């Protein structure tokens, strides 16, 4: 007997146009579509062709007109500044309309690009929504990116205006943004016509005469702008993600399909109703911030939390619980790495007991693989369902999830559960053939992809085809490896590049990480494959221990080696692990396994622009030398 999920998923594949047309009916359209799915130019599929709409109207004005004007739309909570600011839907709509006037006054019109290079402040969301309001295309660049990385994005997006701030705030330090912005503009071939700078009291900056405009002054003089209808297939934003060539890939998101998919996801995946508070603890510079801090909650009529802080250290490992209690958060979404940081600092969950978080119904984890140990820790201490779900910058929303708003499916630890509507997932081998249930291979999605996913790359159709569609014709290549079990549950084990070949056996580093994470003293871990003359590759583990662990490291390493041998078998050839203070990560929480592998194999390596703290790579190198690796690799 099939449940609601099975029926809904089957219908989304059997009648995609009918399914998504029903979902789209919940939103306002200036003109309805000529065709729900335009499949006339495969592999370039377009959703809601011929329709006209405005994303900002649906996120703000629609709610103001339909009775939510005085409901909180956005709450800014900043332990970095000690400030909390609340915007109702009316106030946020008015601020967005005014800032749209600032942009219009600087010559920004429909189709122009605007780069937003800002910290986690409400003005970042206001700038994004203001672009959407007048049909401009925003490209948010993570605040604090190096000048060269920002310059590359300026040259690719060719913005008419850049919106920035005088500084960002990190625990214990102020990060000046203006020198980075000025340096990027100096390097870039393309020169923006103007910059708008939010002067923060923690550090004011000098403005360039004739180019720079003070946010507050420009805002005070601006005339509010009405919403400009755009084609549903017009781009809403460009979001750059790292590319293998070193040239970032500009992921394009359209207006129509994006708002339909995100609006649908809030009730059906996250299980929240309009009016409830929803918190994605991420950054607007990442796709999670775009989808689930700014757009999805507002499209659905929720209250969204914009948090400027860290899971630990602002001021302690209890800050998440304070935010949940203070703002009556019903559903929270964050990265597993945030919970591992909290678990490492507060393994017994003492800080949780200090706050009333009975309002919380569900915790969602995504951004990297959620190890079962972290999920079980969160379940035990929060006493709510903990939902792992899987998606990517490219997809914009979940590929696989446990859709609690439809039907809460049984949890299988290590799996983000099942494909969401519109996603037909298959596991393919090197010959592009489907494999049997339980066998590992490349996780691929049958085309066309559902609404909300990338239609192409910015100014790079050929690169889009080569990067995602060429290796498995008729499919989107996720770049992840895994398997699907007999019940249809998907297991994302590792990036395709992280499947290691040990003496002819294809093994998942993710599977080994699951075992290491189960050790009682291990707070966080990673496994990479290192070159070996005899076996091709060998696994090498990295262990971050829980706070207060004083046992000899050699003892712990011996125990985890035995655990891998016991659970995966001698075939894994897992014999070496090192204890480190921390793991190198991007600012969004992804562990830099590829860079660690280059260091271990003594290859030339380069610290990625997205790294949280480059000094960690030096610590990793020293630890690797202690076990006979990293003999000659230099930073490039």
Q: What is the tens place of the pLDDT at every residue in 513-542? A: 888 999 999 999 999 989 887 677 889 999
Q: Is the pLDDT of residue 321 over 60?
A: yes
Domain match, 90 and 215 both: yes
pLDDT classification of 197: cutoffs 50, 70, 90: very high
Give residue-wise pLDDT tens across range 492-508. Answer: 987 665 667 676 565 76
Query: Which pLDDT score is estimated for 50?
Result: 98
**% of the chain exceeding 70 in pLDDT:** 96
Q: What is the CATH number of the domain that holds 432?
A: 3.40.50.12780
How is 465-524 classified by DSSP, letter by letter? IIIIISSSTTEEEEEEEEEE-TTS-EEEEEEGGGEEEETTEEEEHHHHHHHHHTSTTEEE
Give residue-wise pLDDT tens across range 38-61. Answer: 999 999 999 999 999 999 999 999
Cis, bond preceding 150 (omega within 30 deg of 0): no
Domain match, 471 and 578 both: no
Q: Quote the number of domains for the chain.
A: 2
Chain CA centroid to CA 173, Å: 25
Domain match, 46 and 169 both: yes
Query: Which pLDDT score is estimated for 1?
Result: 52
Domain match, 478 and 583 both: no
Domain match, 133 and 255 both: yes
Query: Which pLDDT score is estimated for 590?
Result: 79
Domain match, 525 and 410 both: no
Q: Please check whether residue 592 lies inside any domain of the structure.
A: yes
Domain match, 30 and 168 both: yes
More confident residue, 431 or 337: 431
Q: Please check whether residue 334 lies inside any domain of the structure.
A: no
Q: Is the pLDDT of residue 187 over 80?
A: yes
Domain match, 508 and 472 both: no
Residues 6+ apart with CB under 8 A from 80: 169, 170, 171, 308, 309, 314
Give residue-wise pLDDT tens across range 99-149. Answer: 999 999 999 999 999 999 999 999 999 999 999 999 999 999 988 777 888
Query: Which pLDDT score is estimated for 587?
Result: 74
Q: Is the pLDDT of residue 476 over 60?
A: yes
More confident residue, 504 or 558: 558
Residues 284-306 have a mean pLDDT of 97
Q: Average pLDDT, whole number, for the chain? A: 93
Query: Which pLDDT score is estimated for 543?
Result: 96
Query: Which pLDDT score is estimated for 510?
Result: 78
425-426-427 Cα angle (round to 5): 135
Strands (E), 337-393: 362-365, 386-388
Query: Which pLDDT score is estimated for 269?
Result: 98
Domain endpoint, select from 451, 482, 513? 482
Domain match, 472 and 556 both: no
Residues 6+ apart with CB under 8 A from 534: 503
328 burial (CB, 10 Å; 0-12 / 13-18 / 19+) is middle
Q: Please check whether residue 368 lies inside any domain of the structure.
A: no
Query: Which pLDDT score is estimated for 296?
Result: 98
Residues 197-207 have a mean pLDDT of 98
Q: Please check whether residue 496 lies inside any domain of the structure.
A: no
**Alpha carbons 367 and 389: distance in angstroms, whole number:** 9
Q: Inter-axis angle of helices 16-24 and 256-268, to 10 degrees?
A: 80
Query: Which pLDDT score is estimated for 244?
Result: 47
Q: Is the pLDDT of residue 268 over 70?
A: yes
Query: Which pLDDT score is estimated for 178?
Result: 96
Cis, bond preceding 256 (omega within 30 deg of 0): no
With beta carbons less than 8 A apart as the criterion, state whether 491 and 501 touch: no
Domain match, 522 and 460 both: no
**Alpha carbons 364 and 387: distance in angstroms, whole number:** 5
Find where tokens 């705030």 sit. 169
Query: Which pLDDT score is estimated for 572?
Result: 79
Q: Please check whether residue 40 lies inside any domain of the structure.
A: yes
Phi, psi of 552 (to 5 degrees): -60, 135
With beta carbons less than 8 A apart as the criterion, state whether 498 and 510 touch: yes
Query: Which pLDDT score is estimated for 141?
Result: 93
Query: Which pLDDT score is estimated for 369?
Result: 74
Residues 6+ apart with CB under 8 A from 596: 526, 528, 542, 584, 620
Q: Please check whether residue 379 lies inside any domain of the structure.
A: no
Q: Please check whether residue 446 lies inside any domain of the structure.
A: yes
Q: How many residues does the chain have?
A: 636
Structural domain of residue 590, as residue ranges? 503-625
Domain match, 407 and 516 both: no
Helix (H, G, I), strand (E, B) or coil at 17: helix
Q: Please check whether residue 349 lies inside any domain of the structure.
A: no
Query: Which pLDDT score is estimated for 496?
Result: 63
Does the predicted TM-score (pTM) go above 0.75?
Answer: yes
Domain match, 401 and 528 both: no
Q: Is the pLDDT of residue 245 over 50?
A: no
Q: What is the CATH number of the domain that holds 560?
A: 3.30.300.30
With beta carbons less than 8 A apart as the criterion, state whether 330 and 278 touch: yes
């Amino acid at each position: 007997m099939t449940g609601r999920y099975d029926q809904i998923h089957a219908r989304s594949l059997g009648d995609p146009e009918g399914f998504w047309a029903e979902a789209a009916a919940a939103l306002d359209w200036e003109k309805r579509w000529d065709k729900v799915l335009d499949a006339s130019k495969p592999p370039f599929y377009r959703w809601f062709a011929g329709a006209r709409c405005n994303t900002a109207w649906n996120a703000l004005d629609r709610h103001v007109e339909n009775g939510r004007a005085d409901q909180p739309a956005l709450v800014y909570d900043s332990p970095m500044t000690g400030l909390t600011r609340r915007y109702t839907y009316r106030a946020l709509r008015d601020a967005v309309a005014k800032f749209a006037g600032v942009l219009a006054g600087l010559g920004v019109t429909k189709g122009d690009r605007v780069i937003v290079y800002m910290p986690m402040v409400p003005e970042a969301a206001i700038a994004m929504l203001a672009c959407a309001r007048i049909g401009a295309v925003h490209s948010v660049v993570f605040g604090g990116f190096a000048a060269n990385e920002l310059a590359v994005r300026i040259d690719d997006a060719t913005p008419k205006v850049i919106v920035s701030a005088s500084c960002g705030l990190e625990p214990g330090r102020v990060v000046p943004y203006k020198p980075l912005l000025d340096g990027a503009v100096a390097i870039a071939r393309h020169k923006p016509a103007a910059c708008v700078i939010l002067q923060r009291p923690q550090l004011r900056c000098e403005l360039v005469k004739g180019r720079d405009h003070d946010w507050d002054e420009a805002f005070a003089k601006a005339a509010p702008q009405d919403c400009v209808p755009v084609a549903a297939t017009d781009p809403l934003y460009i979001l750059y993600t790292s590319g293998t060539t070193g040239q970032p890939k500009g992921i394009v998101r359209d207006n129509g399909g994006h708002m339909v998919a995100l609006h649908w996801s809030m009730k059906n995946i996250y299980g929240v109703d309009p009016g409830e508070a929803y918190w994605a603890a991420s950054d607007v510079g990442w796709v999670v911030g775009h989808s689930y801090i700014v757009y999805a909650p507002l499209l659905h009529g929720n209250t969204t939390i914009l948090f400027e802080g860290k899971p630990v250290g602002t001021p302690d490992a209890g800050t998440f619980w304070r935010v949940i209690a203070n703002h009556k958060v019903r559903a929270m979404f964050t990265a597993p790495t945030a919970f591992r940081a909290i678990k490492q600092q507060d393994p017994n969950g003492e800080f949780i007991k200090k706050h009333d978080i009975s309002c919380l119904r569900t915790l969602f984890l995504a951004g990297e693989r959620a190890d079962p140990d972290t999920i079980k820790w969160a379940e035990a201490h929060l006493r709510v369902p903990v939902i792992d779900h899987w998606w990517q910058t490219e997809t914009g929303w979940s590929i696989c999830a446990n859709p609690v708003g439809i039907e809460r499916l049984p949890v299988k630890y290590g799996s983000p559960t099942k494909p969401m509507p519109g996603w037909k997932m298959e596991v393919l081998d090197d010959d592009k053939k489907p494999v049997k249930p339980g066998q590992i291979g490349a996780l691929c999605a049958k085309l066309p992809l559902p609404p909300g996913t990338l239609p192409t790359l910015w100014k790079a159709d050929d690169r889009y085809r080569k990067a995602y569609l060429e290796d498995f014709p008729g499919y989107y290549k996720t770049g992840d490896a895994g398997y699907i079990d007999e019940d249809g549950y998907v297991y994302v084990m590792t990036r395709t590049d992280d499947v290691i070949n040990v003496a002819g056996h294809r093994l998942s580093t993710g599977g080994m990480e699951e075992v290491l994470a189960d050790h009682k003293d291990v707070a966080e871990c990673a496994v990479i494959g290192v070159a070996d003359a005899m076996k091709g590759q060998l696994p090498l583990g990295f262990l971050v221990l829980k706070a207060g662990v004083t046992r000899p490291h050699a003892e712990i390493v011996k125990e985890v080696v035995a655990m891998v041998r016991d659970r995966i078998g001698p075939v894994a050839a897992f014999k070496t692990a090192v204890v480190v203070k921390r793991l190198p990560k991007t600012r969004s929480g992804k562990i830099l396994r590829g860079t660690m592998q280059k260091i271990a194999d003594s290859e030339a390596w380069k610290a990625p622009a997205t790294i949280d703290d480059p000094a960690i790579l030096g610590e990793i190198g020293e630890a690797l030398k202690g076990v006979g690796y990293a003999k000659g690799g230099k930073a490039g």
